[in-house]
A and B are shown apart, each in its own frame.
Chain A
Amino acid sequence: MAAVPAAATGPLLDTPDTRTQMLAYVARRLALAVGTLLAAVLITFLLVHASDSSPGAVRLGPGATAEAVAAENEALGWNRPLYAQFLDYVGALFRGDLGTSLIDGRDIAADLADRLPVTASIAFLATLLSGVVGVLLGVTAAVRGGRLGKGITTGSGVALSLPAFWVGILLVYLISLQLGWLPATGYVDFSADPAAWLQSLLLPVLTLTVGGAAIVARTANAGMREALAQEHVRTLRAMGTPPWRIRYVHALRYASVPVVSTLGIQFIALFGGSVIIENLFALPGLGQASQAAATASDFPALVGVVVVATAVVVVINLLLDLLVAALDPKVRAA
């Protein structure tokens, strides 16, 4: 072909190098992550100091005299200027030191390090299962439509409204008591017996998956419908692209961005919501620790749990942002 007119002006819009864009994006997200973590420490720190109780009173218990409490507070450094205490705390935090419990003197960092894997495994497994089940249901609803689609939509609307602790009890009743398939409560360490570990987590994970899968299914359904209504789907059809390819390569890829975001949010929600599930299934995780610390007003433990939980959330958010940026070419530029 000889005389094809070439594009005369501005072949491409000005776009800086993709790698620079990505780096700037990562830097922005990192700054936000650090800021969030510091904010969490500051908020809980101020909260604790705004309390009308004091660590001395907590440690000595209700029977202690005012003088004894005052002396104890003095010894704990409670009366030093706030900023000095805060800087000390942040400094210790960087060394991985979260202080000791007011109740039993245990090392909080070590205690939480033992508990973190329990909560993290529940949240991770539940997110994974929610993702698989939710995407299957949501995509089916969007692609098949009809009565099945309506059923899935309605069912997920109900499922995401159910209180997790109630669902948990129902599952214990059904699966442990009626069917006798799984132990109702208790936790087995992974290193002790991996199979029993998985078994001990299965019910809590299933419980959290009921609501989680429902939310993912909704997102996947809406995302797929939106994707299939896009103009570029018509281009694909006009090119004779096989329907499975349009649905499961192009539309699914389009819907993957909201689905991945939802999964990240789900993980964070499940992580926070684990308190209740750990209580119900007697699992020694972070949630149980935070419940115990709240009940006993164990201030250092409270701050420690918030710090660790926030750190997890922040890291997950960061990973999520990077994943979404990798999935969606437009996000990097935004």
Chain B
Amino acid sequence: MSVLPLPGAEAAADEVATEPVPQARRRRGLPGFLRRPGGVFGAGWLVLVVVASLSAPLWRPYEPGQQDTANRLALPSAEHWLGTDPLGRDLLSRIFTAGALPLLASALMLVVAFGIGLPLALVAAERGRRVERVISRATEVFLALPATILLLAVIGVIGNRLYPVMAVMGVLISAAVYRVLLGVAQSVRQRLYVDAARVNGLGSLRVNLVHVLPSMATVVAVQAAQLFGIGLLVVAGLAFLGFGPGEPEPSWGFMIQDASGYIYNAPWLMVPTGLVLALTVVAANELADALAGRAAAPTVRRRRRPLRRAVQAVTPATPADPEAVLEVRDLTVSVDDGPDLVTGVSFSLRQGQVLGLVGESGCGKTMTARSLLGLLPDGVAVTGGSIRWQGRELAGLTEREIDRVRGREIAMISQEPMVALDPMFSIATQLVGPIRRFRGVGRKQARRIAAELLRNVGIVDAQRVLRSHPHQLSGGMAQRVCIALALTGEPRLLVADEPTTALDVTVQAEILSLLRALVRDTGLSVVLVSHDLGVVADICDTVAVMYAGEVVESGTAAAVLDAPAHPYTMALLGANPHVPEGEPVPERLASIAGTVPPPGSWPAGCRFASRCRFAEERCTAPFPALPAHDTGSVLCIRVDELSREHATWEPESAGDETHVQPTPTAGVPA
């Protein structure tokens, strides 16, 4: 008879609350739950039990009280399909005759619980903080009451009357209903369309009926199914204790109580009733799971990285830069049994230099960067090419092998410093662990090193930060801590994936100059992923511009940014809002029409052709990359003509709405 609170329903509430398109979900949801085996079983069995129980007087083979004294405690037979009880009464008839009461009483409990909980949740979500607080405190008190014992007290006072008792149960449980629904109602209300509806002058009741309630339908259904099962258990439990319909009326709980007295000589007796009750509750829960869509959650199974297909076969086509510490050649990253995400990417990096990987969102920059550390998402793997790090091949290493490289030789900082640190542990703990592991020092010594590292990344109040937890840090401070963490293993290469994107502009500059200082002072090499050409111009020595999973242009940052050879680079520069000092601010920015084609739909020829102003017929056929910018390359068949013509990607003519067009525009943070 455990009652509160319903973890499943809350999970469902979370799910719906984060679901961006509730309408679509709902429409798919109704037939959706019947596509899951649990949902089919749950709905099917519930319908069967409800119909069979309510119609029992019409079809039952015996009257529930009819005694067959010659056939007491009988096993299943042709006459008594489920056997008989100690008085020779037919179990099948009794079970389904008894079914109507728990089903109806449980339904009554649901009506009361939602009748109270739902309006309260809607009111609390609508009327704001103070009303919500009062209601929430009151329900917290209700939640803390021991429901079963209180129910017995109610029975002691009003007597053995099941429907009123279950109504009281509904009142008690409405607190749990309120709690789950409040969260959903609040998140629905926060969505824009509810506000829009209110602005349009719809009354409060109509807003609730038309906009809020439909979005809550899934959660209400999930919770109702779960509570229905609980209600059945409560009714049966009460009857088991003797607070149900008295003999000779049949009831599930009492039939099981009765059976418990015969387990010595007639163990079968406890099977049919218990099984029907158990199956019905299981069915209600399975239905709830299917409604919540939880059964579909894939079981996480970290598959062993598929061995690379062509990695060994590759010998660098162009002679490797002898001074390079990192040499990536023809890197291909693919989804298992799916499209390639990155193809034929090559670049190299010398010690103490910064390489920028630039391009719009969805061009494969992050996948490329993460493949350096073997940190690709599940189901994505390096399937070709080579990643040589200080003469050693990293592509195709096992988890265990690459674990020795991670942190020690190559470290990483990510886009969202606020979630990159473990919220449960203090900064000190998170720094001391890796320091001890990497440097083999004691706890005290490690803590000293941690403080020193924090000071090295510009944190003045190192001791205080060490004592803090991540949620107490600002974004810029958290990114500094992340950099300090990355430095614990004294790596030679830092992979920085959009390290400043999530930060305030002033903090961005601080973090960039910190990175620059680290490179200058320690000889660290950096692979910097960015969509921001200003950042690249600021800090990078070399640049690889990526488009649709491949490098379209590379070379020194100065050469590429000053004299872009590829139309895509020209377009990116034209769309870049950063203005060099002393130059006039342009009235309008250039834009690139269209979007990056998704993986799997890339054309055979130039992947940028469909958006390129200079595209011609021959751009649609495959062609090789050409050398450019001394050490770099460019992937454009018209590169010579364009450079002869001094082609640039200028803003569109006046009247174009480039400057107000929000998406998709290169240069705008994604």
Contacts and interface: CB of A to CB of B under 8 A. Distances in A.
A299 B359 CA distance: 77
Given A240-B408, A242-B403, A150 B489 contact: no
A4 B456 contact: yes
Nearest to A268: B146
B157 A177 contact: no
Best-buried of B38, B145, B156, B472 by chain A (most CB within 10 Å): B156
A25 to B, nearest CB: 15
Contacts of A245: 433
A33 B355 CA distance: 59
Interface of A: 1-13, 15, 32, 35-36, 39-40, 43-44, 47-48, 50-51, 53, 141-142, 145-146, 149-150, 153, 157-158, 160-166, 169-170, 172-173, 177, 211, 215, 218-219, 222, 225, 228-232, 234-243, 245, 250, 253-254, 258, 262, 265-266, 268-273, 275-276, 279-280, 286-287, 290-291, 293-299, 302-303, 305-306, 309-310, 312-314, 317, 327-330, 333
B193 interface: no
B153 A306 contact: yes
B412 interface: yes
Contacts of B464: 11-12
Contacts of A11: 459-461, 464-465, 474, 477
A157 B153 contact: no
14 contacts: A12-B468, A39-B145, A149-B301, A166-B274, A232-B421, A234-B414, A238-B375, A238-B412, A239-B411, A241-B433, A241-B437, A275-B149, A297-B159, A329-B471
A237 B375 contact: yes
Q: Which 5 A-B pairs have the closest CB atoms?
A: A269-B2, A240-B406, A294-B156, A272-B148, A240-B407
Contacts of A299: 156-157
A153 B133 CA distance: 36
A43 B149 CA distance: 13
Given A163-B256, A218-B7, A157 B2 contact: no
B157 A333 contact: no
Contacts, number: 317
Interface of B: 1-5, 7-8, 11, 38, 137, 140-141, 144-150, 152-159, 229, 233, 236-237, 240-243, 253, 256-257, 259-260, 263-264, 267, 270, 274, 277-278, 281-282, 284-286, 289, 297, 299-302, 373, 375, 399, 403-408, 411-412, 414, 416, 419-426, 433-434, 437, 456-461, 464-465, 468-469, 471-474, 476-477, 480, 482, 485-486, 488-489, 506, 510, 513-514, 517-518, 521-522
B7 A219 contact: yes
Contact of B281 (A43, A163, A170, A262): A163
Contacts of B399: 243
A53 B375 CA distance: 72
A163 B236 contact: yes
A263 to B, nearest CB: 12
A314 B220 CA distance: 29
Contact of B285 (A7, A43, A160): A160
Given A7-B458, A302-B153, 14 more contacts: A4-B518, A8-B506, A11-B460, A163-B233, A165-B253, A169-B259, A215-B7, A228-B300, A231-B416, A238-B486, A272-B147, A279-B241, A295-B242, A306-B149
Contacts of A4: 456-458, 514, 517-518, 521
A58 to B, nearest CB: 9
B364 to A, nearest CB: 18
A329 B152 CA distance: 40
A270 B4 CA distance: 11
Contacts of A32: 137, 140-141, 144
A276 B242 CA distance: 11
Contacts of B434: 239, 241
A12 B470 CA distance: 10
Contacts of B286: 157
Given A1-B521, A266-B2, A268-B146, A145 B421 contact: no
Best-buried of A3, A163, A237 by chain B (most CB within 10 Å): A163
A13 B414 contact: no
A297 B5 contact: no
B146 A309 contact: yes
A241 B144 CA distance: 42
A239 B488 contact: yes
Contact of A333 (B278, B282, B471): B471
A139 to B, nearest CB: 12
Contact of A177 (B156, B256, B263, B407): B263
A153 to B, nearest CB: 8
A74 B1 CA distance: 39
A307 B617 CA distance: 86
Contact of B456 (A1, A9, A158): A1
Given A145-B300, A232-B423, A291 B474 contact: no
B301 A145 contact: yes
Contacts of A5: 458, 510, 513-514, 517
A253 B262 CA distance: 47
A44 B152 CA distance: 11
A270 B148 CA distance: 10
Given A150-B299, A163-B233, A250-B422, A238 B278 contact: no
Contacts of A50: 157
B4 A269 contact: yes
Contacts of B259: 169
A169 B236 CA distance: 14
Nearest to B1: A273
B577 to A, nearest CB: 24
Contacts of A265: 2, 4-5
B423 A276 contact: no
B152 A291 contact: yes
Nearest to B259: A169
A162 B264 CA distance: 22
B277 A163 contact: yes
A145 B378 CA distance: 14
A150 B416 CA distance: 33
A280 B260 contact: yes
B406 to A, nearest CB: 3
B411 A238 contact: yes
A7 B489 contact: no
A112 to B, nearest CB: 12
Nearest to B257: A165
A169 B159 CA distance: 28
A272 B237 CA distance: 12
A294 to B, nearest CB: 4
A73 B547 CA distance: 90
A115 to B, nearest CB: 12
Contact of A225 (B284, B300, B469, B522): B300
Contacts of A333: 471
Contacts of B299: 141, 145-146, 149-150, 153
Given A166-B270, A170-B270, A290-B153, A12 B300 contact: no
Contacts of B461: 11-12
Contact of A235 (B152, B421, B469): B421
B474 A293 contact: no
Contacts of A328: 424
B508 to A, nearest CB: 12
Given A145-B299, A302-B153, A276 B424 contact: no
Contacts of B282: 157-158, 161-162
Nearest to A149: B299
Given A240-B489, A297-B156, A272 B149 contact: yes
Contact of B474 (A12, A239, A254, A327): A12
B241 to A, nearest CB: 6
Contact of B406 (A160, A232, A237): A237
Contacts of A239: 406-407, 411, 434, 485-486, 488-489
Contacts of B278: 161-163, 166
A290 B472 contact: no
Contacts of B140: 32, 36
B420 A235 contact: yes
